[in-house]
Amino acid sequence: MSTTTLTPAPTEASAPSPKLHDEGRIGLRNNLRHVGALVRRNLLQIKKDPESMFDALLMPVIFTLLFVYVFGGSVGGSMGGGRQEYLNYLIPGLMAMMGMNIAMAVGSGVNDDFRKGVMDRFRTMPIARSSVLIAKIVVELGRMMVATLILLGMGFALGMELQESVLGLIGAIALSAAFGAAIMWIFILLGLTMKTAQAVQGMGMLVLMPLQFGSSIFAPTTTMPGWLQTFTDYNPLSNLADAARALMMGGPLAHSVWVTLGWTVVITAVMAPLAVSKFRKAS
């Protein structure tokens, strides 16, 4: 008597789940096409939710008016001038701050996409995983440019005087954008690590507040205690603010620019691979 062994047919539960293609299998042209499609998707999200642009539209106006008219007289007077001199000092510093504040939205957006199941849909698509993160950065850089242009518009409307060439102004914008893109990788990693978008924002504020106020963004550091001056010397926001001022208003340039570029390269080289690796595991 013979015995027949029946092999159960594979079911959907036992079938391997689809995975995103590796970047090595996708050419540069297709990678760019994927990034473009995802950028369009993120822009459509902003179109459907215009309130998400409120921070980029209103924050430059509020910060400029608040600091110029509340602190401009006293801080400008201590600098040997007045509100006008403080305005010239403040606007390049706020350019450095814009990137940090806008970058925080990247981490919240990534976290929100995971919570809503958007990343589960991306898993079934033959796209490179890094394209999802790069598209986020591209869109946030666009929001950062909008905030920067509004900030500069407010500055010129209040009487800011550009003491260097327009090329210097463009260089300051480009340097701020490059550093802002590097900072976004940090917040992407936070968004992939923290459980909620609120936790990302809370952790972001804990990082942002000491860096922003322990810097030369709002006031010169000469009156700060010695230990705090040491911190500001290594604070990347201080170097970025000083570099933007030198490019727009004149002054020593090389040191602050090279230090800012160094921070940009180091942060990107460390945080981008960590964020992509975390994204692979999470998705």
Task: Categorise residue 250: left if φ over 0, alpha if ψ from -120 to 50, beta otherwise.
Answer: left
CB 176 within 8 Å of CB 95:
yes
20: burial class by Cβ within 10 Å (0-12, 13-18, 19+)?
A: buried
Q: What are the pLDDT digits (tens) for 129-148?
A: 677 888 889 999 999 999 99
- pLDDT of the residue at 100: 81
> Residue 16 — very low, low, confident or very high, per pLDDT cuts 50/70/90?
very low
Report d(CA 119, CA 129) in Å as an integer.
Answer: 10
In one letter, which amino acid is 161? E
Both structure tokens of 234: 């290594």
* Residues recorded for the chain: 283
Which residue bears the tokens 């701050």?
97
Q: What are the pLDDT digits (tens) for 246-273?
A: 999 988 888 899 999 999 999 999 999 9
Q: Which helix (H) or strand (E) covers residue 207, if one does? A: helix 197-213
Question: Residue 246 to residues 4, 158, 243: CA-CA distances in angstroms?
Answer: 84, 20, 5
Phi and psi at residue 223, to the nearest 5° = -90, 0
Given a cut of 50, is residue 18 above it in pLDDT? no
Domains in the chain: boundaries: 25-282
- pLDDT of the residue at 113: 76
Q: What are the pLDDT digits (tens) for 148-167?
A: 999 999 999 998 988 888 99
Q: Residue 82: name the closest of 93, 95, 68 by CA.
A: 68
Q: What are the pLDDT digits (tens) for 198-213?
A: 888 888 888 888 888 8
Mean pLDDT of the chain: 82
Task: Categorise residue 2: left if φ over 0, alpha if ψ from -120 to 50, beta otherwise.
Answer: beta
Both structure tokens of 31: 């990678």
Q: What are the pLDDT digits (tens) for 72-101?
A: 888 888 777 788 889 999 999 999 888 788
Q: Residue 96: name the closest of 157, 172, 152 by CA.
A: 172
